[in-house]
Amino acid sequence: MHFADLTDYSYQQGDDRFTDMTSPDGECLVLPATYRRLNVGWLEDRQPYPTGPVPLDLADKLAAIADIQMVNACLGRHECDLCDEPREYPPLGSWEIRIPGRPGVVYAAPSLIVHYVAVHGYQPPAEFTTAVRAVGVGEWNSLRWILDGYRLVIAFPHVPDGASVLDLADPDTSQNWI
């Protein structure tokens, strides 16, 4: 799926669903998209993309974020179609990450952005790179949100009014995911 960098996000309409990756029941914090979401890193074969130098720590920082944050997880997965040679274990993506930017803006990137930067030389926009480097991964990893009686571990620094919990173990709420 290709979307040009810094265009309005349109891949999945509606709210952002942040999965609590520590929960055996798969609770999600549903955040109303009260912020403007901008695409970054939605690359596809045969579509040009910027390449060039990036800070040495960018891929590592993106990987650390993708390890603790899962947004809009899908049951399917996407293989990197930029890789020329078949691999026994191709890079896969099935979720997104969110990076806060300037006030009112959040960058929306596929989890494969880590691979795109590290292997394919993708150079994200400078404003995105600056925002990623400003993320305190340790601080995010220790965030705990209590909402609707749930204690959630969600790696995102801001929960807007109107957020709700989707408990995948609860048949009354899990039907929303089917």
pLDDT of residue 176: 41
Residue 29 lies in a domain: yes
Element (H, E) at 174: helix 171-174
- How far apart (Å, rounded) are the C-alpha atoms in residues 15 and 12? 8
Domain count, the chain: 1
pLDDT tens string 147-164:
777 777 788 887 777 888
Low-confidence stretches of the chain (pLDDT < 70) are 88-90, 168-178
Give the number of other Cβ atoms within 10 Å of residue 150's Cβ: 17
Find the helix or strand (DSSP H, E) in which 62 lies. helix 58-68
Q: Is residue 85 part of a domain?
A: yes
Amino acid 163 reads: A
Residue 177 lies in a domain: no
The tokens describing 130, both together, are: 């600056």
Residue 113 lies in a domain: yes
DSSP classification of residue 46: T
Residue 25 counted as domain residue: yes
How high is the pLDDT of residue 29? 84
Distance CA 108, CA 11 (A): 10
CA 103 to chain centre: 18
Rounded CA-CA distance 78/95 in Å is 9
The domain of 62 spans 16-159
Instruction: Dump pLDDT digits (tens) for 160-177.
Output: 778 888 876 665 654 343
pTM of the model as a whole: 0.87
| Residue 46 located in a structural domain | yes
SS3 sequence of 103-170: CCEEEEEECCHHHHHHHHCECCCHHHHHHHHHCCHHHHHCCCEEECCEEECCCCCCCCCCCEEECCCC
| Residue 164 covered by a domain | no
Does residue 123 lie in a domain region?
yes
